[in-house]
């Protein structure tokens, strides 16, 4: 067992992990941050996506020990200080960008990473960036729309409701 | 003006807040004190004789608490088929036992033959790998044709791989044959409806607790219908009395059919929890999901369409082989029969229909209902053969469909496949589709594509489906072993807020938002004081769950009925408070008043009075304000639609891109247009995925080649376009109180033929006389087809 210390959503935490404990397991099982979801075994689905030192990382691809000393951000830390939804979360609600909610934490964290690098992405850029996040419910229409809206673009011309 | 609350309002979803902040509670997010883990030992061969299972080494490994094998469940019941189908000769279908754990033989890759319970999942996994199983590999039966002709049987005791040979409607057979024989023109098409894996993003998970002091069990599980799961476990598998078993399906991360069914893992964790006295949890990984979740579709069909010289449809005749896999899943016999054959008249006045379906056992995972369940298969066959006929006859594909549509003045319409359609207007849908899709601009867009060296194809489709899967009397006639109704309890609390317990289960459909809109509208109060309770058998009277686009049409109707009872009783209470007659009380905007006077009491005052009945006339009014209704409808509902799309095809690579997609649906009345539109989007994503990308492939030995997201092509955001969705052409359902029809599956039903028709059109426009291509329409298939003509 190894002791790891990291900052998660601004809070210093530490814990004992095995060498092969994944960051995703550490977050879910040790830290009880179950908003980070496990949807596959092959790092394809993106439901476990978090930020490590400001970069988007699928937390199933990283050992907890590798995150020792890192700043980790998860879905639980995304809301505004007063608990209200942040701009991205609010755009997902406003544009019905989620249904069952299982891929949603990964989608929100991916969006945050995208908009940091590319504040006004085109539709094609959004779709390309979502390559690593699978949603089975929405057909992506409203996710793409929500992301473009979160970036401050006018989405009223995009079809329907 | 769109409404801002109640029925018809695009109310934002209240459940989103917890999902967007990581506070959802999915089954695997729940951990209990003392919890241990189950991991399954699964067959690596498709067909094998279990000679011995030696667990000695595994049992001695660190953390191991118990090991179960098929022997431990030899005496308990099998997981049953929910529908009895009789063959054409009147004999009942073959129903092999589906045990909790494989016993004697393993029958598909992934078939579980043992389970280890250990302190941690890692310890259990290590012990699984130490189990010494002597499983003698036998030749596998994979291909349906081979299965029907050979003498290698998935279930030796049956002596055939044919589960049933079903005819619908057998009495129509001779007339259909005669109509085809004498027809001016017959179009024939052989096609494959490709096998799919539902792939809800949340893998299945089941966790059981047992209390020896009370002999009570609690099962948390990923289910679309917790009461049905409880019923199956209680009545058929483990025999736990229903009053001793609570089934909770908390937040569930998508279902699409795959979480309707009871699976052996649920029974295993219950038995293990009792044996060990500790909570036992199993969570599937994605590979297990691919290997063991019930798959969908997998039909091979020959369809014939007979026409007269004017293009009037005279008959449809089909022969289908439907794969049911190694065991019968709960709905697997209904899906290829009554959810498929009964729709084989489509939207058309065709006088003759005959459907033959042979269900076939193979050494593959069970196949059952997946979004659409039988109706996509029916629609695909019909709408592909109609398109082919139009091309053969040189007719416009839209005009040919319009010529044969059921007309608005023909309802109720008795279809040649045995259903009574209650309402619809297919021409109006087609008109709207032409407008929404800007059909007039197609020629110009085709020119633009051609200028880029690309081929542009246009595809169209009309569909009808039967959903709101219910009427007990009808499904009973059709072979269902359960009733299909739903239930709701409306509880008005003393302080004027409401809890509404519903038998439907929301796993993405937004019930927590939409159902309160209905109740709020009826009572004239704010929806924010109404909460929905679902997914817990201990809190809800009963319910048959969510599938077949039934939640609102069936359970929503139960909510209406229960709310009507609330209103009736509340009026009595109000009448007592106002010293008036019940008949004179009116409810408007949450206020009960005596008609024609200014005397009134608010809904909240009535609620409070119901629980503080100091001066109640107890002989007339009981205290409390809570009502339950069970609703069993008179008929299926019949959503219909007209879809079209344009694809761009690169003749150099065979790559097809969907450029535009328009879906115009008749869902009857719409409660929340935002949610309904989202449901259509999701269905389109899955249907386009089926048409272009997804395929489940077993090799000749029964090994699943597409068992991960590295191998099975899930639609990604850049595979799909924005969709134009319209549901302005609703004709209310005539037999349920909300006039709703159901919207969950339409997109997945209507889109596959639309895409394939467009791909054929694109190839034809490039001078390539390709008349059919099987799904998924991959670049390789398209390119090859274009080279070979």
Main-chain phi, psi angles of B645, to 5 degrees: -150, 165
CATH 1.10.150.120 domain residues, chain A:
87-150
Q: For position B19, what pLDDT does the model report? A: 98
Question: How many domains are there within chain B?
Answer: 3
- Residue of B21, B205, B207, B712 best to disrupt the A interface, most CBs of A under 10 A: B21
In a domain, B150, yes or no: no
Identify which of A28, A33, A39, A30 has the alpha carbon closest to the alpha carbon of residue A5: A30
Residues B438 and B558 in one domain: no
In a domain, B743, yes or no: yes
Q: Of A33, A79, A101, which is closest to B253 when you measure between CB atoms?
A: A101
Mean pLDDT over the full length of chain B:
97
pLDDT of B412 strictly over 50: yes
In the stretch 39-68 of chain A, residues with CB closer than 8 A to chain B read 39-42, 44-45, 47
Q: How many other CB atoms are found less than 10 A from the CB of residue B787?
A: 9
Confirm whether the ipTM is greater than 0.95. Answer: yes
Identify which of B546, B550, B553, B563 has the alpha carbon closest to the alpha carbon of residue B488: B563
Identify which of B133, B114, B130 has the alpha carbon closest to the alpha carbon of residue B63: B130
Residue B770's contacts (CB-CB under 8 Å, 6 or more residues apart) are: B760, B763, B764, B785, B786, B789
Residue B146's contacts (CB-CB under 8 Å, 6 or more residues apart) are: none
How far apart (Å, rounded) are the C-alpha atoms in residues A147 and A89? 9
In a domain, B173, yes or no: no
Residue that is last in its domain, among B601, B631, B661: B631
How far apart (Å, rounded) are the C-alpha atoms in residues B40 and B156? 25
CB B313, CB B404: distance < 8 Å: yes
Average pLDDT score over residue span B339-366: 98
Half-sphere exposure of B321 (CA within 13 A, CB side): 21
pLDDT digits (tens, 9 = 90+) for B689-737: 999 999 999 999 999 999 999 999 999 999 999 999 999 999 999 999 9
pLDDT digits (tens, 9 = 90+) for B736-781: 999 999 999 999 999 999 999 999 999 999 999 999 999 999 999 9
In a domain, B615, yes or no: yes
CB B164, CB B85: distance < 8 Å: yes
Local confidence band at A161 (pLDDT 50, 70, 90 cut-offs) = very low
pLDDT of B109 strictly over 60: yes
Residue B512's contacts (CB-CB under 8 Å, 6 or more residues apart) are: B13, B14, B15, B506, B531, B532, B534
Residues B613 and B648 in one domain: no
**Cβ–Cβ below 8 Å for B202 and A100:** yes
B281 pairs with which residues across the strands?
B37, B207
pLDDT of A159 strictly over 80: no
Block residue for tokens 């594909």: B397
Residues B490 and B465 in one domain: no
**Cβ–Cβ below 8 Å for A38 and B254:** no
Local confidence band at B787 (pLDDT 50, 70, 90 cut-offs) = very high
Tokens linked to A146: 């929500």
Residues B354 and B308 in one domain: yes
Tokens linked to B399: 């005009």
pLDDT of B268 strictly over 70: yes
Residues B335 and B353 in one domain: yes
Identify which of B602, B574, B615 has the alpha carbon closest to the alpha carbon of residue B496: B602
Residues B675 and B593 in one domain: no
Residue that is last in its domain, among B600, B631, B662: B631
CB B359, CB B187: distance < 8 Å: no
pLDDT digits (tens, 9 = 90+) for A93-151: 999 999 999 999 999 999 999 999 999 999 999 999 999 999 999 999 999 999 999 99
**Cβ–Cβ below 8 Å for B717 and A143:** yes
Average pLDDT score over residue span B165-179: 97
Local confidence band at B212 (pLDDT 50, 70, 90 cut-offs) = very high
CATH label of the domain that carries residue B229 = 3.90.1170.50
In a domain, B676, yes or no: yes
In the stretch 98-157 of chain A, residues with CB closer than 8 A to chain B read 98-105, 108, 123-124, 126-128, 130-131, 133-145
CB B641, CB B663: distance < 8 Å: yes
CATH 3.10.20.30 domain residues, chain A:
2-77
pLDDT digits (tens, 9 = 90+) for B595-608: 999 999 999 999 99
Q: For position B788, what pLDDT does the model report? A: 85
Task: Residue A122: list chain B partners with CB under 8 A.
Answer: none
Half-sphere exposure of B629 (CA within 13 A, CB side): 18
Q: For position B1, what pLDDT does the model report? A: 47
- Residue of A16, A101, A114 best to disrupt the B interface, most CBs of B under 10 A: A101
Residue B530, classed as helix, strand or coil, is strand
Task: Tell me how close the Cα of A10 comes to any Cα of chain B, in angstroms.
Answer: 16
Residue that is last in its domain, among B583, B605, B631: B631
Residues B526 and B647 in one domain: no
Residues B237 and B99 in one domain: yes
pLDDT digits (tens, 9 = 90+) for B580-589: 999 999 999 9
> Please, is B294 exposed, middle or buried when counting C-beta atoms within 10 Å of its C-beta (0-12, 13-18, 19+)?
buried
* CB proximity B12 to A under 8 Å: yes
How far apart (Å, rounded) are the C-alpha atoms in residues A152 and B427? 40
Task: Tell me how close the Cα of A40 comes to any Cα of chain B, in angstroms.
Answer: 5
Q: For position B709, what pLDDT does the model report? A: 97
Q: Of B12, B23, B676, which is closest to A35 when you measure between CB atoms?
A: B23
Helix, strand, coil shares of chain A as percentages rounded to 5?
35, 15, 45
Task: Residue A102: list chain B partners with CB under 8 A.
Answer: 24, 26, 200-202, 253-254
Topology of domain A2-77 in CATH is Ubiquitin-like (UB roll) (3.10.20)
Residues B126 and B266 in one domain: yes
In a domain, B162, yes or no: no
Residues B648 and B626 in one domain: no
Yes or no: is domain A87-150 CATH 1.10.10.60? no
Residues B249 and B359 in one domain: no
Task: Tell me how close the Cα of A46 comes to any Cα of chain B, in angstroms.
Answer: 10
Identify which of B57, B55, B82 has the alpha carbon closest to the alpha carbon of residue B70: B55
The boundaries of the domain holding residue B556 are 15-22+485-631
Q: For position B588, what pLDDT does the model report? A: 96
Residue B74, classed as helix, strand or coil, is coil
Block residue for tokens 């790092």: A43
pLDDT of B286 strictly over 60: yes
Residues B618 and B662 in one domain: no
**Cβ–Cβ below 8 Å for A159 and B16:** no
Residue A54's contacts (CB-CB under 8 Å, 6 or more residues apart) are: A71, A116
How far apart (Å, rounded) are the C-alpha atoms in residues A142 and B736? 30
Q: How many other CB atoms are found less than 10 A from the CB of residue A118?
A: 13
Main-chain phi, psi angles of B585, to 5 degrees: -85, 130
Query: How big is the A-B interface in CB pairs under 8 Å?
Result: 200
Question: Under the phi-then-psi rule, with left for phi > 0, alpha for psi from -120 to 50, and beta for the rest, what region is B311?
Answer: left
pLDDT of B4 strictly over 90: no
Local confidence band at B234 (pLDDT 50, 70, 90 cut-offs) = very high
**Cβ–Cβ below 8 Å for A159 and B252:** no
**Cβ–Cβ below 8 Å for B673 and A161:** yes
CATH label of the domain that carries residue B614 = 3.30.365.10
Task: Tell me how close the Cα of A43 comes to any Cα of chain B, in angstroms.
Answer: 9
Q: For position B471, what pLDDT does the model report? A: 85
How far is C-alpha B404 from the geometric centre of its chain's CA atoms?
29
Helices (H), B599-745: 603-611, 673-692
Q: Quick one: what percent of chain B has pLDDT higher than 70?
A: 100
Average pLDDT score over residue span B58-83: 97
């Amino acid at each position: 067992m190894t002791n790891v210390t990291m900052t998660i959503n601004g809070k210093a935490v530490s814990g004992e992990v095995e060498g092969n404990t994944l960051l995703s397991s550490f977050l879910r099982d040790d830290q009880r941050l179950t908003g980070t979801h496990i949807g596959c075994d092959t790092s394809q689905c993106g439901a476990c996506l978090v930020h490590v030192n400001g970069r988007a990382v699928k937390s199933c691809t990283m050992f907890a020990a590798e995150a020792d000393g890192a700043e980790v951000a998860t879905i639980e830390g995304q809301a505004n200080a007063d608990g209200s939804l942040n701009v991205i979360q609010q755009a997902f609600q406003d544009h019905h960008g989620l249904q069952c909610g299982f891929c949603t934490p990964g989608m929100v964290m991916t969006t945050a990473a995208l908009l940091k690098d590319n504040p006004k992405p085109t539709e094609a850029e959004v779709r390309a960036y979502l390559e690593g996040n699978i949603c089975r419910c929405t057909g992506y229409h409203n996710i793409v729309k929500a992301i473009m809206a979160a970036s401050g673009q006018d989405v009223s011309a995009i079809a329907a409701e | 003006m769109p409404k801002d609350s109640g029925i018809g309002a695009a109310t934002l979803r209240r459940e989103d807040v917890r999902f967007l902040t990581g506070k959802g509670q999915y089954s695997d997010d729940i951990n209990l004190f003392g919890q241990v883990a189950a991991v399954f030992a699964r067959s690596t061969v498709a067909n094998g004789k279990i000679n011995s299972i030696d667990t000695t080494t595994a049992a001695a490994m660190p953390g191991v608490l118990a090991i179960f094998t098929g022997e431990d469940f030899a005496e308990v019941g099998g997981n049953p088929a929910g529908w009895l189908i009789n063959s054409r000769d009147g004999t009942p279908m073959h129903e092999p036992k589906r045990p909790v754990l494989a016993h004697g033989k393993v029958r598909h890759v992934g078939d579980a033959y043992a389970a280890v319970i250990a302190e941690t999942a890692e310890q259990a996994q290590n012990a699984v790998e130490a189990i010494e199983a002597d499983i003698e590999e036998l030749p596998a039966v994979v291909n349906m044709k081979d299965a029907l002709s050979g003498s290698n049987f998935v279930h030796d005791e049956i002596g055939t791989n044919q589960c049933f040979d079903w005819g619908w409607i057998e009495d129509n057979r001779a007339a259909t044959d005669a109509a085809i024989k004498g027809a001016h023109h017959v179009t024939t098409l052989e096609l494959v409806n490709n096998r799919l894996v539902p792939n809800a993003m949340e893998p299945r998970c089941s966790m059981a607790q047992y209390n020896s002091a009370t002999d009570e069990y609690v099962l948390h599980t990923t289910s679309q219908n917790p009461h049905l799961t409880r019923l199956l476990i209680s009545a058929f598998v483990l025999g736990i009395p229903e009053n001793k078993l609570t089934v909770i399906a908390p937040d569930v991360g998508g279902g699409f059919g795959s979480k309707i069914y009871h699976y052996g893992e649920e029974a295993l964790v219950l038995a293990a929890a009792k044996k060990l006295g500790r909570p036992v949890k199993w969570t599937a990984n994605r590979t297990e999901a691919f290997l063991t979740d019930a798959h969908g579709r997998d039909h091979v069909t020959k369809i014939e369409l007979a026409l007269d010289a004017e293009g009037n449809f005279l008959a449809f005749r089909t022969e289908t082989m439907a794969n049911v896999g190694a065991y019968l899943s709960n709905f697997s016999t209904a899906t290829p029969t009554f959810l498929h054959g009964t729709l084989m008249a489509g939207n058309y006045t065709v006088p003759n229909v005959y459907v033959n379906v042979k269900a076939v056992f193979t050494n593959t995972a069970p196949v059952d209902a997946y979004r659409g369940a039988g109706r996509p298969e029916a629609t695909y066959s019909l709408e592909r053969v109609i398109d082919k006929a139009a091309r053969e006859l040189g007719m416009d594909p839209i005009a040919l469909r319009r010529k044969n549509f059921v007309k608005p003045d023909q309802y109720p319409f008795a279809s040649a496949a045995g259903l009574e359609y209650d309402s619809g207007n297919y021409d109006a849908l087609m008109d709207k589709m032409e407008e929404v899709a800007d059909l007039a601009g197609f020629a110009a867009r085709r020119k633009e594509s051609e200028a880029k060296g690309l081929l542009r194809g246009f595809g169209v489709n009309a569909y009808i489906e039967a959903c709101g899967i219910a009427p007990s009397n009808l499904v009973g006639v059709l072979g269902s072993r359960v009733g299909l109704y739903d239930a709701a309890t409306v509880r008005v609390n003393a302080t004027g807020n409401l809890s509404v317990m519903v038998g439907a289960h929301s796993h993405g459909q937004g019930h927590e938002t939409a159902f309160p809109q209905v109740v709020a509208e009826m009572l004239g109060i704010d929806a924010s004081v109404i909460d929905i309770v679902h997914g817990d058998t201990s809190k809800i009277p009963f319910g048959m769950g969510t599938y077949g686009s039934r939640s609102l049409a069936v359970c929503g109707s139960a909510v209406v009925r229960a709310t009507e009872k609330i209103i009736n009783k509340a009026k009595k209470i109000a009448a007592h408070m106002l010293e008036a007659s019940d008949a004179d009380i009116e409810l408007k905007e949450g206020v009960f008043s005596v008609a024609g006077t200014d005397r009134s009491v608010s809904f909240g005052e009535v609620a409070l009075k119901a629980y503080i009945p100091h001066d109640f006339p107890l002989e007339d009014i009981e205290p409390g304000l809570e009502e339950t209704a069970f609703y069993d409808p008179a008929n299926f509902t019949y959503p219909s639609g007209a879809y079209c799309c344009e694809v761009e095809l690169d003749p150099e690579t065979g790559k097809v891109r969907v450029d535009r997609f328009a879906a115009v649906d008749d869902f009857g009345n719409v409660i929340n247009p935002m949610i309904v539109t989202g449901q259509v989007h999701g269905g389109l994503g899955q249907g386009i995925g089926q048409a272009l990308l997804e395929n489940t492939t077993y090799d000749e030995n029964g090994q699943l080649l597409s068992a991960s997201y590295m191998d099975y092509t899930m639609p990604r955001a850049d595979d799909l376009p924005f969709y134009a969705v319209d549901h302005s052409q609703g004709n209310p359902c005539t037999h349920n109180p909300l006039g709703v029809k159901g919207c969950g599956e339409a997109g997945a039903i209507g889109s596959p033929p639309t895409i394939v028709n467009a791909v054929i059109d694109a190839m034809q426009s490039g001078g390539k006389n390709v008349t059919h291509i099987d799904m998924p329409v991959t670049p390789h298939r398209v390119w090859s087809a274009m080279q070979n003509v």
